[in-house]
Amino acid sequence: MKVSLIQMNSQPDVAGNLEQAEVLLRRAIQRDNPDLLVLPEHFDWAGGTAQQKIMAADSIPGGKAYEMLRMVARRHRVWIHAGSILERIAGQTQIFNTSVIFNDLGEEVGRYRKIHLFDITAPDGKAYLESATVARGKDLFVYEMHGLRIGCAICYDLRFSRLFDALASRQVDVIVLPAAFTLQTGKDHWEVLCRARAIEFQSYFVACGQWGSYSAANGETRSYYGNSMICDPWGQVVARASDGVGIITAHIDAARLRDVRLLIPMGAHREDFPKCRICPAFDTPSSDRTAAE
């Protein structure tokens, strides 16, 4: 299976972002003829104020981003893993950060709503409060394509190994992670985490990111890390984007998956841990332990 990743530089401009996405999708189809196209997180909208973000959210199905992708998938007979779209929910004040998957007939296969929301203060003091506008998803989603099982995650999910352990228990072969990693955290953690997830769960890891600067609230400029990459189940980076907007393409090799899993049969060795014996000293409230110390 051939996969193409679309690295974008989305802005608070829905029309401009959708035009950029469609141009790059068509370019990837013409150049590489992939089986699966992957877009980054927030490909339809990035930055702006919290209120602008909520106003930019669209309907799924029926919204502008949704219909553009459905048309491209159907016309070119290609699967699309639509990074994430801002999903409006009727009657709710918050939105969802949602991946939508289309098959090569332009039919929606399913969707995944981001579970772990990015509420941190970065090393430079800039605050990110995704939960102010986005509601948390609750369910995992796995789909099948060309004989492979593909699991879904989005951006900040990358840091939570239990999510990927749950996907591995569902025997996924590929994990697709659209992202908009910050430059500050990305330069230290992005590659390490992507390769680690591929190694520990013996899956291809397909990580498609935003790159470059964008306009945030109050005219503030923030930057994405980019470096979209595909890691094989041995943790080797088989494709990586350079700086800039662009496309990378690589093959997902079922034989490579089989060879790695035979060499180190982690699936057969993985154990559940239903019980944990706790030292009595740790069986008291943390405040009591602190006082005792």
**Residues labelled catalytic:** 41, 114, 155
Q: Is 218 exposed, middle or buried (0-12, 13-18, 19+ CB in 10 A)?
A: exposed
Strand 127-129 relative to strand 204-209, pairing: unpaired
In sequence order, what are the residues at sequence separation of 6 or more whose Cβ sits closer than 8 angstroms to the Cβ of residue 59? 66, 87, 88
Query: Helix, strand, or coil here: 91?
Result: coil
Helix (H, G, I), strand (E, B) or coil at 129: strand
CB under 8 Å to 218, separation ≥6 — which residues? 49
| Alpha-carbon span 249 to 264, nearest angstrom | 27
